[in-house]
A and B are shown apart, each in its own frame.
Chain A
Amino acid sequence: MTSLENLRNINARCIHCRACQYAYSGEPDREGKDETYTGMLQGCPAGIYFGWEGYFNSGKQWMARAFLNGELPASQELLEITEACTTCGMCETQCPNYIDTVHVTEELRAAVIEAGVEPLPKHAKFRDMVSNDDMRNPYNEARSDRTKWAQEKYGEQIDKDVKIGYFVGCTGAYRQQHVADRTASILKKLGVDFTIISDEVCCGSPILRTGQKAVFQDVMEKNMETFKNFDLLLFSCAGCYKTIRNDYPRISGKQLPFKTRHTVEYVYDLLQEGKLKINSPYNQKITWHDPCHSIRHVGIAIEKDILHNSKNWLLDSRAAEKAKEAHYEIPRVVLGAIPGLELNEMYRVKGDSFCCGAGGGVKAQFPDMALSTAKERLKEAASTGADVLMTSCPFCITNFNDGIKALKKEEEETGKDLSDLGSKLKVVELLEVLDELL
């Protein structure tokens, strides 16, 4: 298991330059269409919402240092400030000292909890439900119902003895079954011989993000055991994907015995290999929101893996950055392969994409911040003139829809037209579109 102490030397690299507060902190001359979206922009959801230095990564790094040095005791207050962060990783993209900012934040949360502070109420509920053998999900649902969504249409895929698994995740299994359904349908159409495993448990993402590592360890071990003989795990949930792809090997110290791919990436692979062509059109003007988990976090992990194995960062950093950038192109290649689709990019994209506001346990514990952040992103999406805000993450979709709902309510109450702020946007999951078109 990792710990905050393991990150002491990495945390000690922070000189409090505050570059991490910006998107495009290294691109002052980046062209945009107007003053609002040009050059560097504020990029930290928590910092923007709360204003105090401690809510920005720059402040959190120094709280972590004080904690490590025994100058700042564990407290409920410290936990509350630290938990008010979506762990989106915008700060990590900006840091020229390659500080693993999100790991420091998550480990600080864990260290405070390990020191005896009770997790925040909503997060404690996650823990209780995920550690409950009758549930193993954060939605208070029965474990026995985990594959209920699939029983009618995909019954033959459940617990099938094959080497490719579709890791559905709790949200797909219990809340956004239509996404799970679409994903399974895509995989069938693509001829993938896959299985849905009834023994799957929560990937642990909401538990790990909120610093509850003991329970995380438990579900990680359970899933690792369940999937140990697989060759490939496919995902529809950005959070599960990031957690299993990035966090399982990092925290367990063991390489994954199977490969991992998000379904969008799997489609990308087939497109690149010339094995797939999308012929049906999707005649919509869209903008694309990069989910932090499957885009930024995976891109950063790719870059840092290359550097981790490099003896000469000066020479290899460029290649590492290119590999990261190539990962950011994946959804764009897929979107570009859809006839009729018109992509109008937002200003903050790829590694500098602004978070939807839902991650890191924020949606449950700090709903006002989550909503405010979603609105900021919806405004940016609306500024592109797109009709559809497309993404591929269940949490982004939920939070954006909540933001649009709030805007619509405001329209009703005030009689104002808030379409410039995104009230007329339609939020669409890319996997649904792919299923329709394939």
Chain B
Amino acid sequence: MSNYNKVTDDVVKKLVAICGEKYVTTSEPLRHSYMAKGIMGLEAELPEVIVRPENAEQVSKILILANENLCPVTPAAGGLSGGFALPAIQPGGIYMDMTRMDKMTVDTENRVMVVEPGVKSGDAWRIFKTQYPDWAPPIPDGAPPAATVLGDAIERGFSLVTGVYGPQADMIMGLEVVLPTGEIFHTGSWALPGAKPFYRWGVGPNPDGLFLGSQGSMGIITKCAIKMVPHPHFKTVVAYGGESWDDVVKPAWEISKHEMGIGERTVMVQGGNYELVMTRWPKTNVPIDYEFYKKIGVDRKWMNYEVWAWSQEELDFTLKGIDKVYKDYEVHEKRTTPQQELHPKQVASRLKKPNKIAIPYSLWQAGFLFITWYCPWLESSAMMDEYCAAMADYGFPETMWVASIDHARQAIVMPILCFDSTEPGIFDKIREFNLETTRSFLKKGWLNYRPDPFVHAPETFSKAKEYYKMLVKFRKVLDPNLILHPGRLAIPWESVSDLPNPCKE
């Protein structure tokens, strides 16, 4: 285990020499201003100094300096991932706010865009809307406008076409990476000087996977080449309801498996339950009885299909195909899965990108947490049933969201824990809930999307021991002093867990 040093005045002086006085601060209030405990992670430590580099060269120099002084470094693209974009352990070290690096280039011929970490979804959308209206940037769906394209991509998050293209990381064509020791290199065809990022697998074995999902602990990605997607303008959203999770999951699988057919135009398939509507409002100022939601046309469970097509004819054909699957399901399974009547404003709201749809769950009480899991699509009903039961046991509303990844090959299942963050002991309760469900789900072979350092990562790697050993080997090659975002991915192990270290078994 590394013993990290605190950031000294001398280190700060050197950071100033690298980035300029204007872009380095040790101000206590400003350091607190970067904190977040919610959305994705509840644990975060205060950084000791904030730096705002301008380019990869400055990032490199900062990392070399951090290695010389054994200071931890936490990079953050836009920093919207709650506690995940902050130091996990003490000392908090150097926090690298990458928002100054906000350049974007677009290559319509090769259908790829290159973004720096600070390019925000709202800005990318505006530029595409005015300059490239036939294309869309692969911005995160459901994330607010300040979410970054790169941050979402390297964390393998959702894009607006995930139902077809898979996680956003699948759309990456090349990376510019600054290794923890300061070397800068490119992946894919980009590795060849002068080559465009046109071929992901590049000049040899592709190391992208080591950096994607590493939560910034393997290297700092300073550029990302990513596919942009065609943007047809015949769009709509249809929704079908049901009483059980199977009622929404099974028909969605039937529809999505029509790859190169109607499944190709259902770019986003996502659903939830009536609690997903209810908990967007204050607990004390909204009906909590399902009967109210039934009256206003909200089913107990439902699935939305966002459809993009090149013509009205193509759109109608797709909608007809979706409807036929549901009609067949009703007949074969003897279930009722009515199509919801969506107001045009509801359709417009669901088509809006980026949007603020995921934000208001704090209104229910005062705080919320998304916990995200992946499983094979048809197993998602069982996961949601178990999750909802556990949420009820722990006194949380059963707010649940589910979405298809890559034609319903996988499901992302996301309970939204709505709670009062000012309530004493609430974080312990959430941790207990998280631990209980995590242990159960891992036994079933389901995976946490982005493991938090204190529950998911140690629990998962305690089971996937060989994988963890290999991960640590790679990490030590790239980052011998383990300075990058320590604690993430349970490296160093003892900094986050009391469980036996798999590397020592």
Contact = CB atoms under 8 A, between A and B. Distances in A.
Interface in A8-44: 8-10, 12-19, 21-22, 25-26, 28-29, 32, 34-35, 38-41
Contact of A39 (B122, B144, B287): B122
A17 B352 contact: no
Given A17-B80, A51-B52, A313-B286, A40 B34 contact: no
A42 to B, nearest CB: 9
Interface residues of B, number: 55
Contacts of A18: 78-80, 144, 146
Nearest to B46: A71
Contact of A54 (B29, B36, B82, B287): B29
Nearest to B27: A77
Contact of B368 (A15, A66, A71): A15
Contacts of A26: 352, 355-356
Given A25-B122, A75-B28, A96-B360, A19 B33 contact: no
B29 A40 contact: no
Contacts of B354: 28
Interface in B67-94: 78-80, 82
**Most-contacted residue by chain A among B32, B35, B422 (CB, 10 A):** B32
A52 B422 contact: no
Nearest to A97: B362
Interface in B146-164: 146
Nearest to B83: A16
B125 interface: yes
B30 A62 contact: no
A26 to B, nearest CB: 5
Nearest to B287: A312
A58 B359 CA distance: 13
B485 interface: no
A40 B366 contact: no
Contacts of A28: 122, 125-126, 129, 145, 352-355
B449 interface: no
B39 A15 contact: yes
B285 interface: yes
A98 interface: yes
B3 to A, nearest CB: 25
Contacts of B131: 35
Contacts of A333: none
A307 B127 CA distance: 36
B58 to A, nearest CB: 16
Contacts of A58: 33
A63 interface: yes
Interface string B360-400: 10110011100000000000000000000000000000000
A14 B356 contact: no
Contacts of B355: 26, 28
Given A9-B422, A12-B366, A16-B36, A77 B130 contact: no
Given A12-B422, A13-B366, A19-B356, A314 B277 contact: yes
Contact of A22 (B25, B32, B146, B353): B146
A241 B287 CA distance: 36
Contacts of A307: 285
A9 B29 contact: no
Interface in B384-438: 420-422
Contacts of A63: 29, 32-33
B338 interface: no
A62 B33 contact: yes
Contacts of A2: none
Contact of A35 (B27, B46, B80, B127): B127
A29 B28 contact: no
B146 A17 contact: yes
Given A17-B356, A312-B287, A22 B422 contact: no
Contacts of B360: 96-97
A153 interface: no
B145 A15 contact: no
B126 A38 contact: yes
A234 interface: no
A107 B269 CA distance: 44
A40 B125 contact: yes
Contacts of B35: 16, 62, 65-66
B461 interface: no
A18 B356 CA distance: 10
B241 interface: no
Contacts of B130: 32, 34-35, 38
B102 to A, nearest CB: 11
A14 B362 contact: yes
A59 interface: yes
A15 B367 contact: yes
A39 B32 contact: no
B363 A97 contact: yes
Contacts of A75: 28-29
A314 B36 contact: no
Interface string B117-136: 00000110111011100000
B145 A54 contact: no
A78 B28 CA distance: 8
B125 A17 contact: no
B211 interface: no
Nearest to A59: B33
A16 B29 contact: no
Interface string B51-70: 01000000000000000000
A92 B353 CA distance: 21
B263 interface: no
A29 B421 contact: no
Given A28-B353, A311-B285, A59 B34 contact: yes
A346 B129 CA distance: 19
| 8 smallest beta-carbon distances between A and B, as pairs | A59-B33, A54-B33, A18-B146, A39-B126, A16-B36, A12-B366, A13-B362, A40-B122
20 contacts: A9-B420, A12-B367, A14-B362, A15-B39, A15-B368, A16-B82, A17-B359, A18-B80, A28-B353, A40-B123, A52-B25, A53-B33, A59-B33, A62-B34, A66-B32, A71-B46, A78-B29, A97-B362, A313-B363, A314-B286
Given A17-B80, A22-B146, A314-B278, 4 more contacts: A26-B356, A29-B129, A63-B29, A82-B29
